[in-house]
């Protein structure tokens, strides 16, 4: 019989299992029982869909058969079984579902991470076994096959005799060593406890014959032994249990195993509702964003059950995009088992559930924001970006739902604040909610434009994500207070008097300013004397709807080059800065030099904004020539 090689990745996983130093080897049982339950689910669902009335729920079960003499444990199910091909494809090749990626470094540490934190499935059998046999007969097939492996060297598959449908997994346990006791897995007492601990909610009975003893009839001291079949699990799915009967650890284990996360969830939302929509929902907020979360590869969705039978692995219609980070499941008796994906989308019941879940998630987030600020900020770090996209998307349709969940960094509080907190602190004469855009908080703190505002004690929101300004623009205002970019032309700060004074000053320097503008050759719409600068010499501001930040973002998008977007730029000069006197003097004395200075000042303003400068070499040469 030909020995076949494992696929390379499978072999690595297998090696990890065989040489595992992981202390929770007992989880092999959970993994194999969960596979057995999945196999029954598959068949049960299929027969329901096919309208096959020959099988009912009661016909399914999982058996544990320990055999101390042979040193084996057999885990049997009468689920869908596997064909010869299935055996080849499923057990010779690593499962896709675990989405494991192996790194060369940190092997030992990773060993623990992978086994403890992902569901590793079938291969975990090799943590405890030196040889594994799988005998399986697929539903509807009259042939059975046996898969056999001693581990890394490979596996064999051959035809075998098996009378009934389903799968037997036969583990031959390793010998006990000084540190490891494998024999305990032959012990019915230990097995019963393991099932209770890890697999209690499995919805099919897990049975085992247990040897017991009793007083012999009519005797007072003589005992006889007899065998009793026990059902080891309660079969109530976790989400149907009462909240106060479930420990945090149970939730955590369930989440990690089911959703292949390696960290505990940040929050569990367990709710059941009756009435117009009857369902149980068990939802989780992950404590970190999946690596692919902000990519196209990420698929949102909740597992969907119809009265305890899983009908869809990932039902996207249950979650709005802005809550796509939520993982979990919904079980409802109102959904038909036979419902197709297309029909599901239009299902009224499903829509109702979606609406309820959305409200529930929102209110949970709000209460977290109120009662666990630190936790909420952590959540927001992971998924706040998604909420902000949510505000912006669909032309702002969801802004009212989401606006109070947003956080932005505050210049005065030096931490993340909500819009409502900002508004509550606004000064009496403050017209606008001010914000500044840039790459980092540190950079924004240095921005010359913020000087006057901060001087007047105004709080500024620092926006550092690309989507931020777009989201605020879509919202337009909060609590009737308009948002205002600190670089826009009107900050609503000056008194009438100040305005007049500024106008007068501008008028007096009209010729100089227009010379500067001409020197810049169309790069700016205007050169003006600044009302927002205090100690810095120059800055850029904008006129009209497009800000510099929006210009940056829009032009960095794919296809942007076809239609370059330009903000209308205004170069602002601080009349109280000594450089201004120099400019005034040069206007009379040396117009060539003034022209060069105009370019230098403009370039500096670009640098301050973090915008690219057109000719860095010319700029450098210019500065050097001044230094010389």
DSSP state of 510: H
Kindly state the helix (H) or strand (E) to which residue 328 belongs, with its residue range: strand 327-332
463 to 4, 191, 474, 549, 589: CA distances (angstroms): 58, 56, 15, 10, 43
Q: 164 and 142 in contact (C-beta within 8 Å)? A: no
Ranges within 63-92 binding ligand ADP (CB under 6 A): 77, 79-82, 90
- Which residue of this chain has its Cβ atom nearest to ligand ADP in the complex? 121
Q: Rounded to an integer, what distance in angstroms lies between the CA atom of residue 126 and that of residue 366?
A: 46
The only residue of 6, 44, 63, 122 in contact with ligand ADP, by rule CB under 6 A: 122
Which span (93-101, 353-361, 424-432, 514-522) binds ligand ADP, by CB under 6 A?
93-101
> Which of residues 35 and 487 has its CB atom nearest to ligand ADP in the complex?
35
Q: Rounded to an integer, what distance in angstroms lies between the CA atom of residue 50 and that of residue 164?
A: 21
Short-list 125, 122, 159, 119, CA closest to 142: 159
Min separation Cβ 122 and ligand ADP, Å: 4
Helix ranges (H only) for 79-162 are 84-91, 107-117
Which span (115-123, 217-225, 429-437, 564-572) binds ligand ADP, by CB under 6 A?
115-123
Structure tokens at 518: 């001409």
The only residue of 45, 98, 183, 186 in contact with ligand ADP, by rule CB under 6 A: 98
> Which of residues 77 and 451 has its CB atom nearest to ligand ADP in the complex?
77
Residue 202, interface with ligand ADP (CB under 6 A)?
no
Min separation Cβ 79 and ligand ADP, Å: 5
Ranges within 224-283 binding ligand ADP (CB under 6 A): none
| Direct distance between the N- and C-terminal alpha carbons of the chain, in angstroms, rounded to an integer | 86
Residue 567, interface with ligand ADP (CB under 6 A)?
no
Min separation Cβ 38 and ligand ADP, Å: 6
> Which of residues 36 and 491 has its CB atom nearest to ligand ADP in the complex?
36
Residue 132, interface with ligand ADP (CB under 6 A)?
no
DSSP 364-421: HHHHHHHH-HHHHHHHHHHHHHHHHHHHHHHHHTTHHHHGGG--EEETTTSSEE-HHH
What lies within 8 Å, CB to CB, of 124 at 6+ separation is 17, 27, 28, 31, 32, 115
The only residue of 20, 84, 167, 599 in contact with ligand ADP, by rule CB under 6 A: 167
Residue 430, interface with ligand ADP (CB under 6 A)?
no
The only residue of 14, 33, 36, 315 in contact with ligand ADP, by rule CB under 6 A: 36
| Coil/strand/helix, residue 152 | coil
Residue 97, interface with ligand ADP (CB under 6 A)?
yes
Min separation Cβ 251 and ligand ADP, Å: 21
Structure tokens at 454: 């901060």
Instruction: Characterize 380-411 residue by residue with b for buried, 16 or more Cβ atoms within 10 angstroms of its Cβ, and e for exposed.
Output: bebbbbbbbbbbbbeebebbebbbebbbbbbb
> Which of residues 12 and 473 has its CB atom nearest to ligand ADP in the complex?
12
Min separation Cβ 61 and ligand ADP, Å: 13
Min separation Cβ 9 and ligand ADP, Å: 12
Structure tokens at 434: 């001010």
Which span (94-102, 189-197, 534-542, 582-590) binds ligand ADP, by CB under 6 A?
94-102
Number of residues interacting with ligand ADP: please give it, by CB under 6 A.
Answer: 16
Where does this chain bind ligand ADP (CB under 6 A)?
35-36, 39, 77, 79-82, 90, 95, 97-98, 119, 121-122, 167
């Amino acid at each position: 019989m030909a020995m076949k090689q494992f696929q390379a990745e499978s072999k690595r996983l297998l090696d990890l299992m065989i040489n595992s130093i992981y202390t929770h080897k007992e989880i092999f049982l959970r993994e194999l029982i969960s596979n057995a339950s999945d196999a029954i689910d598959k068949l049960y669902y299929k027969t329901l869909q096919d309208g096959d009335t020959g099988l009912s729920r009661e016909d399914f079960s999982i058996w544990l058969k320990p055999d101390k003499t042979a040193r084996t444990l057999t885990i049997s199910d009468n689920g869908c079984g596997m064909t010869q091909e299935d055996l080849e494809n499923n057990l010779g090749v690593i499962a896709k579902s675990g989405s494991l990626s192996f790194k060369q470094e940190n092997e030992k540490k990773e060993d623990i991470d992978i086994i403890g934190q992902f569901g590793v499935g079938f291969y975990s059998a090799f943590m405890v076994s030196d040889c594994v046999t799988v005998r399986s007969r697929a539903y509807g097939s009259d042939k059975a096959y046996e898969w056999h492996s001693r581990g890394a060297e490979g596996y064999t598959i051959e035809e075998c005799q098996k009378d009934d449908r389903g799968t037997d997994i036969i583990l031959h346990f390793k010998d006990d060593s000084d540190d490891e006791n494998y024999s305990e897995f032959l012990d019915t007492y230990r097995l019963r406890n393991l099932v209770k601990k890890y697999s209690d909610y499995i919805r099919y009975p897990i049975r085992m014959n247990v040897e017991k003893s009793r007083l012999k009839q009519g005797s007072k001291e003589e005992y006889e032994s007899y065998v009793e079949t026990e059902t080891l699990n309660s079969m109530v799915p976790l989400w149907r249990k009462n909240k106060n009967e479930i420990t945090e650890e149970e939730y955590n284990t369930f989440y990690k195993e089911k959703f292949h996360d390696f960290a505990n969830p940040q929050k569990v939302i367990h709710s059941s509702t009756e009435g117009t929509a009857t369902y149980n929902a068990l939802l989780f907020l992950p404590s970190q964003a999946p690596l692919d979360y902000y990519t196209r590869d990420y698929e949102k969705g909740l597992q969907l059950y119809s009265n305890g039978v899983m009908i869809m692995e990932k039902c996207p219609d249950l979650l709005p995009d802005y809550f796509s980070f939520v993982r979990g499941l919904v079980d409802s008796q109102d959904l038909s088992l036979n419902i197709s994906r297309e029909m599901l989308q239009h299902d009224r019941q499903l829509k109702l559930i979606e609406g309820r879940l959305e409200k529930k998630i929102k209110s949970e987030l709000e209460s977290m924001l109120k009662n666990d600020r630190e936790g909420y900020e952590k959540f927001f770090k992971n998924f706040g970006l998604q909420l902000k996209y949510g505000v912006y998307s669909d032309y702002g349709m969801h802004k009212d739902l989401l606006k109070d969940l947003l956080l932005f960094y505050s210049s005065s509080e030096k931490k993340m604040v909500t819009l409502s907190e900002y508004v509550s602190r606004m000064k009496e004469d403050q017209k606008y909610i001010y914000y500044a855009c840039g790459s980092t908080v540190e950079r924004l703190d240095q921005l010359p434009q913020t000087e006057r505002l901060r001087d007047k004690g105004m709080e500024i929101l620092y926006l550092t994500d690309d989507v931020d300004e777009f989201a605020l623009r879509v919202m337009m205002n909060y609590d009737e207070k308009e948002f205002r970019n600190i670089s826009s032309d009107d900050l609503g700060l000056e008194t009438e008097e100040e305005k007049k004074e500024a106008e007068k000053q501008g008028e007096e320097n009209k010729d100089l300013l227009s010379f500067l503008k001409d020197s810049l050759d169309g790069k700016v719409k205007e050169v003006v004397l600044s009302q927002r600068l205090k100690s810095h010499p120059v800055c850029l501001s904008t006129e009209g709807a497009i800000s510099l930040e929006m210009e940056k973002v829009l032009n960095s998008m794919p296809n942007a080059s076809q239609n370059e977007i330009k903000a209308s730029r205004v170069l602002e000069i601080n009349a109280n800065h000594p450089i201004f006197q120099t400019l005034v003097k040069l206007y009379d004395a040396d117009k060539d030099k003034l022209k060069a200075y105009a370019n230098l000042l403009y370039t500096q303003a670009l640098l301050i904004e973090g915008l690219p400068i057109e000719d860095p070499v010319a700029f450098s040469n210019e500065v050097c020539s001044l230094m010389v």
